[in-house]
Amino acid sequence: MDVPAPEPAPAFPPPEDPGVEARRLRFSALLEEFRETPVLVPLGDGPGPDGERGLLTADWNGVRFILAFSDGQALARYARARGEFHREWVYQTILGARLLDVAVPAAGVPCGVALDCADGPDGVVFPPVLGVVPDGVAVDRERGEGL
């Protein structure tokens, strides 16, 4: 019995594609706005390495993401999606730049930030790559690529 060959992976548009550059510019503007904005960051259930409650995180494909929310309504949508709308959510208000520049490196593992993760395509992921997080913790630092 012949096994069909797997379909080739979809090709990414070349970097010089005008759509790629437009998306890069939009993301850069969004990143700058995030860095200047205080966001709500819920505390996790258990103590962190220092005995204090750590920031709420989620792991996906070997990368940890700190969960952040643009406002109380975004946090409420997340709580509702988890079926935990009626529990008390303890959170800190943290400047986006502080999350990326201090909290991400302190995680000790590849780490980024997920903003408004219950909002589907309106949410934003800030991955642990050059141009987003400090160079020393960027997962692509060996390749020297970035935004």
2-6, 35-39, 78-82, 114-118, range with the lowest pLDDT = 2-6
Give the pLDDT band of residue 121 (cuts 50, 70, 90): very high
Give the C-alpha separation, 135 to 102, whole Å. 12
Of the two residues 18 and 134, the one the predictor is more confident about is 134
Query: Letter for the amino acid at 68?
Result: A
Q: Find where tokens 């080739």 sit.
A: 8
CB atoms within 10 A of CB 43: 16
pLDDT digits (tens, 9 = 90+) for 23-70: 889 999 999 999 999 999 999 876 655 556 799 999 999 999 999 999
Give the C-alpha separation, 33 to 98, whole Å. 13
Of the two residues 4 and 100, the one the predictor is more confident about is 100
* Residue 11 CA, distance from chain mean position: 25
Which candidate, 29, 30, 50, 28, places its Cα nearest to that of 103? Answer: 50
Give the C-alpha separation, 69 to 79, whole Å. 11
Which candidate, 95, 107, 108, places its Cα nearest to that of 40? Answer: 95
- Predicted pLDDT of residue 15: 64
The structure's pTM equals 0.81
Please state, rounded to an integer, the average pLDDT across all residues of the chain. 87
Give the pLDDT band of residue 112 (cuts 50, 70, 90): very high
